[in-house]
Structure 1
Amino acid sequence: MPEDLLQPPAPSLSPEGHRPFQRPAEVPEKFWDAETGTLRTDALLKSYRELERRLSQRAAPPAADAAPEELLRFRQAMGIPEAPEGYSLTAPHELCCADPAVNSRLHAAHFSNDQAQLVYDLAAERLLPLIAEAAAQYEADRQREKLAEHFGGEERFRQIAAQLAAWGRAKLPEPVYAALSSTAEGVLALEQMMRKGEPGLARDAVPQSAETEGELRAMMRDPRYWRTREPEFIRRVTEGFRRLAGS
């Protein structure tokens, strides 16, 4: 019988005489077996293994003898700048600024920008307090040596120190006593006040000016007071507390 060319052609049949199975839209054609209507598990497994291999190579740091283009691809994938100078770091503290030598080592170890920033942040958070504590202890020991020399030896200084501490705590407000007893110059000023019999202020007395005391304590935090120990600057602080104590 002649075929009616005006009608759409009938679907072709498979060699077994049945219609081919319809492939689901979400399944790629290379993973679909139209004859059996099932997934090609061997092709799917092979593709998965290849993908896993490529991802592992991408995440692992390149070998020491890796080609420059391989190293570049890895750095781009991990967010690592091409050179140490490419790090964009924010100094968490004035003593923890970016250091070219440190950045070079971080870059050689394949640190990303965020990881390099974390190194500096942790240094400021953990190391600076330890350094400040060690510096304060060193300065305190140096001040004690100076006082021991002034009073004629450590034993003599310990005896006088006990007297000065008892007198200062009894006669002066705690903030004034704490400030004077923290430096050699303050201790010597305290000794002069005690020897002159100056009554100072009662412990419960109110300082003449809270602002003046605040300014003096701010000066004690100045590096000129605790680091470089500038004599004139120290004298201003010591004299200020003496005036505050009423001497």
Structure 2
Amino acid sequence: MIEHKSPEDIERMHVTGQFVGQVLAELGDLAAVGVNLLDLEHHARRRIKERGAESCYWDYEPSFGKGPFRNVVCLSVNDAVLHGLPHSYKLRDGDLLTMDMAVGIDGWAADSAHSVIVGTPAEEDLRLIEATEVALEAAIKVAQPGNKLGDISAAIGAVAAEYGYPVNLEFGGHGIGRTMHEDLHIPNDGRAGRGWKLRPGLTIAIEPWFAAGTNKIVFDPDGWTIRSADGSRTAHSEHTVAITETGPLVLTRRPQSNKGLEDRRESSATGR
């Protein structure tokens, strides 16, 4: 069932989203050469506990995956892009790190992801991250009341095509609100003018992710970490967005940071 939230519900989700954005910004600033992924995981755990929040990932057990997820943040490095299982790995110069986090506060969830370069960036990696962030901004821009879900998918696919990256349709955006995953799947490519009509009160997670060389994926033996099938680099950007009478409202906007295209400029997509 698709639930349309009241303005009061959206404001509660905004509180959660601001916390998620803040913690992701902190993790991005902490990600440096020599830092262990487990240090980032433990920082996120501390912040969630301090806030009295609940991780949406802890004990998450979908049809894929090997047993319940027993971490609070997904940390994916280089060719890994989704559901990266935190483990003892010290970040190296030039690593491309994707951080994905979802929490609930007072019964309302928010979900966001952010890719950064550790140490010295390669131009091709910066371009890949830029593509996901430009695609996210384009998708947010068309998330207007009266438009269709396909307009969001088409906007993401158009940016991918412009940058020359293939698109995987197995994993994409989703509805969100009282739980991390609610009805509505939002593919990262599609046809404009098709699908569910966007109405005020709809809350969704929009999450373009691309691999540089393929649209095929493989799973690690851990049953969680998803990688590009050809070993090419990957990047992922995600925001929780509410459709309102006056347009899209980004609920997980991060405070300004030194890392990431989106953090260096305010999106022109919403004017918020």
Task: Please classify the TM superposition score into its range, dividing by the shorter chain length.
Answer: under 0.3
Computing the radius of gyration from Cα coordinates, the structure with the larger value is: 1
**Relative contact order (alpha carbons < 8 A, sep ≥ 6): 1 or 2 greater?**
2
- Give me the TM-score of the superposition, normalised by structure 2: 0.23
- Give me the TM-score of the superposition, normalised by structure 1: 0.24
Instruction: Give the number of the structure whose residues are more often strand, by fraction.
Output: 2
